[in-house]
Amino acid sequence: MSAFDDETAVEPMGRDAFGRDRWSARVDGRWNIGDNPNGGYLVSIALAALQKVSAHPDPVSVTTHFLRPGTGDESAEVTTEILRGGRTITTGRSSLSQAGTTRIEIIAAFADLARGAGAGRGPDAIPSFGPSPPSIPPPDRCVVRSGSEQGIELPILDRLDVMIHPDQARAGQAGTPVVSGWIRLADGADPDPRSLLMFADAFPPSLFGSLGSVGWVPTIELTAHVRRRPAPGWILGQLETSDLHDGRMIEDARLWDETGALVAQSRQMGLVLAR
Amino acid sequence: MSAFDDETAVEPMGRDAFGRDRWSARVDGRWNIGDNPNGGYLVSIALAALQKVSAHPDPVSVTTHFLRPGTGDESAEVTTEILRGGRTITTGRSSLSQAGTTRIEIIAAFADLARGAGAGRGPDAIPSFGPSPPSIPPPDRCVVRSGSEQGIELPILDRLDVMIHPDQARAGQAGTPVVSGWIRLADGADPDPRSLLMFADAFPPSLFGSLGSVGWVPTIELTAHVRRRPAPGWILGQLETSDLHDGRMIEDARLWDETGALVAQSRQMGLVLAR
């Protein structure tokens, strides 16, 4: 069992007064960024519970609102509810609480990515197209992600290998709000749709590339779409901020697997606080 | 009072057994696309209720899961719940039901767009940047949106003026999955953050530009970010599908006001069914 699966495991605890399923979990401090757990890691725990009650295996659309930071090395409670179980889509919500306070709230749609959604075959089939991966140096010619430049401890880097494009690794170096690089689970476990959702939130903020040190960029909401089950190996990520106004940013991320297939896209609204 | 405000109005009906606020509404058939109400119109009703209990006025992040189609000219019930009321953000959810069945489920964050989010002033201020509007012909040189080509009745066109770029108005004409044009409320009422969310869902599907007639493109989930309060006048919209795989598409939309300011961005995951 991978550290990711082990440290995002949930145990059933029956139902609450509203008929919702309850689950217990533990938030491991080894996924911290600074003093708090990585947001994508909390999402992975809340989704592990929802996945257990979904009739479809793959989270294809996941929206998370980050209400309050989580706490590492503390227990957590997850509550799940199926909103609709359809033939091709299961929709549900999940919330993760610690010490009686909700930390994240999720609404998600699950499908079966091994089956098409009705695109058909032959001359009337719906075509496929999508963005190609950027050309970046291979992982061994990239630079290990470091938090030291921003004065942030990154315990999560014992759990994740994160290699940043050598032209984008220092604050302000890129000159544009773009960060790209490679990511994988440090213990060699293969990526899956749930770990992709965590990867999308584990790169440095792309504004780091243009503004330099930006401090903490709290995410208000992040929506991720998983497009394919990833092939084994590294995941290539590219993050870009194309829209920043009044301290509110929209950052887009795309992830490709080692075969060059687009496996996930995500977008977040975050706050950029004055330095 | 505009037809939009009048036909998205909600009346309080007390609280349910879970402590959630309940509201009554009526789904007006004049916002139908084909046999069912436009999805963005249903969102506008569910958000009208949530806006009444939010301490902040502007919906800045709105995710909607479309569980089942709505029914025009029937009553509806909306249930709202505040998940967190913070200093700068209020987060809540809202669901709209008809005949005892949930049709849409929303999670949204509200803020005050008239106030910055902490970007600061002077040399340390966080900058602003964003995508510029495309150059398209003025509304009087665009083509009125018509549903006849796809065999769909569009009662909503009595409520909305929708003018499509003359090079993109016929099925397959553009050759690329892009649609752009102008939109406004037909009775001359000014746009506001809530009507922007409806506008983002009121253009033809952008796949229409490349695939030609695509039939119904059911939206699974749509997330919209309102970036600024819009100036009075027309709204310029551009929609594009950059990612289509296995019959599941990701379509992005951007809206600008008449001053050229980006006022909203949205992204949806939809199904493209074989013809």
Pick A149 or B84 by higher pLDDT.
Answer: B84
Q: Which residues of A touch B67 (CB under 8 A)?
A: 83-84, 91
pLDDT, mean of residues A241-268: 96
Percentage of residues in chain B having pLDDT higher than 70 = 95
Q: What is the pLDDT averaged over residues B42-53?
A: 98
Q: Is the pLDDT of residue A140 over 80?
A: yes
Q: Which of A41-50, A116-125, B71-80, B140-149 has the lowest mean pLDDT?
A: A116-125
* Residue A213 confidence (pLDDT): 66
How is A36-76 classified by DSSP, letter by letter?
EE-HHHHHHHHHHHHHHH-SS-EEEEEEEEE-S---TTEEE
Provide mean pLDDT across the span A66-83.
Answer: 98
**How many other CB atoms are there within 10 angstroms of residue A75's CB atom?**
12
In DSSP notation, B20-61 reads: -EEEEEEE-GGGEETTEE-HHHHHHHHHHHHHHH-SS-EEEE
Which residues of chain B lie closer than 8 angstroms to A127, CB-CB?
Answer: 211, 244
What is the DSSP code (8-state) at residue A28?
-
Which ipTM did the prediction report? 0.96
Q: Position of tokens 């929802």?
A: A50
Which of B132, B99, B130, B155 is closest to B238 using CA atoms?
A: B132
- CA B241, CA B268: separation in Å to the nearest integer? 10
Cα separation of A228 and A231, whole Å?
9
Give me the mean pLDDT over the A27-56 stretch. Answer: 96
Alpha carbons A275 and B125: distance in angstroms, whole number: 8
SS3 state at A169: coil
pLDDT band at residue A210, thresholds of 50, 70 and 90? confident
C-beta atoms of B271 and A130 within 8 A: no
CB contact under 8 A, A242 and B128: no
Across the interface, whether the CB atoms of B83 and A102 are under 8 A apart is answered yes
Contact (Cβ atoms closer than 8 angstroms) between residue A181 and residue A136: yes
- SS3 label, residue B96: strand
Chain-chain contact of B269 with A228 (C-beta, under 8 angstroms): no
Q: Which of chain B's residues have a Cβ under 8 Å away from the Cβ of A240?
A: none
Q: Which of A149-158, A190-199, B75-84 has the lowest mean pLDDT?
A: A149-158
- Of residues A35 and A76, the one with the higher pLDDT is A76
Chain A residue with the nearest C-alpha to that of B16: A18
Q: How far is B239 from chain A (nearest CA, A)?
A: 15
Read off the pLDDT of residues B138-174 as tens digits, 9 standing for 90 and up: 999 999 987 665 678 889 999 999 999 999 988 788 8
- Give me the pLDDT at residue B209, please: 78
- Scanning every residue of chain B, which has its alpha carbon at the shortest distance from the alpha carbon of A220? B109
The average pLDDT across A163-185 equals 91
C-alpha to C-alpha distance for B77 and B100, rounded to whole angstroms: 8
Contacts of A237 (CB under 8 A, 6+ apart): A180, A181, A182, A183, A199, A200, A203, A253, A254, A255, A256
- What pLDDT is attached to residue A212? 73
pLDDT at B215: 66
Distance CA A169, CA A143 (A): 7
Q: Do A227 and B242 touch (CB under 8 A)?
A: no
Q: Measured between CB atoms, which of B84, B242, B269 is closest to A130?
A: B242
Nearest Cβ partner for A247 among B18, B126, B130: B126
B187: closest CA of chain A, how far (Å): 31
pLDDT at A258: 97
pLDDT of residue B96: 98
Is residue B29 within 8 A of residue B56, CB to CB? The reply is no
Whether A83 sits inside 8 A of B65 (CB atoms) is yes
Q: What is residue B169's predicted lDDT score, i.e. its pLDDT? A: 86
State yes or no: pLDDT of A149 exceeds 60: no
Q: What span, in angstroms and rounded, lies between the C-alpha atoms of B151 and A127?
A: 23
| CA-to-CA separations, B110 to A1, B45, B51, B147, B206, in angstroms, rounded | 41, 16, 8, 34, 29
pLDDT value, residue A76 = 98
Would you say residue B184 has pLDDT above 80?
A: yes
pLDDT band at residue B202 under the 50/70/90 scheme = very high
Query: B272 falls in which pLDDT band (50, 70, 90)?
Result: confident
Distance between CA atoms of residues B41 and B49, nearest Å: 13
Which residues of chain A neighbour B193 with C-beta distances below 8 Å? none
Residues 6 or more apart whose Cβ sits within 8 Å of residue B87: none
CB atoms A269 and B124 under 8 Å = no
- Say if CB A227 and CB A264 are below 8 A apart: yes
Can you give the pLDDT at residue A67? 98
How many other CB atoms are there within 10 angstroms of residue B274's CB atom?
16
Provide the 3-class DSSP secondary structure of residue B150: helix
**Is residue B11 scored above 70 in pLDDT?**
yes
| pLDDT attached to residue A109 | 98
**Whether B246 and A113 lie within 8 Å, measured CB to CB:** yes
The minimum CA-CA distance between B85 and chain A, rounded to whole Å, is 9
- Provide the pLDDT for residue B257: 98
How far apart are the C-alpha atoms of A262 and A224, rounded to whole Å?
A: 13
Q: Do A274 and B105 count as a contact with CB atoms less than 8 A apart?
A: no
For the residues B184-205, what does the mean pLDDT come to? 95
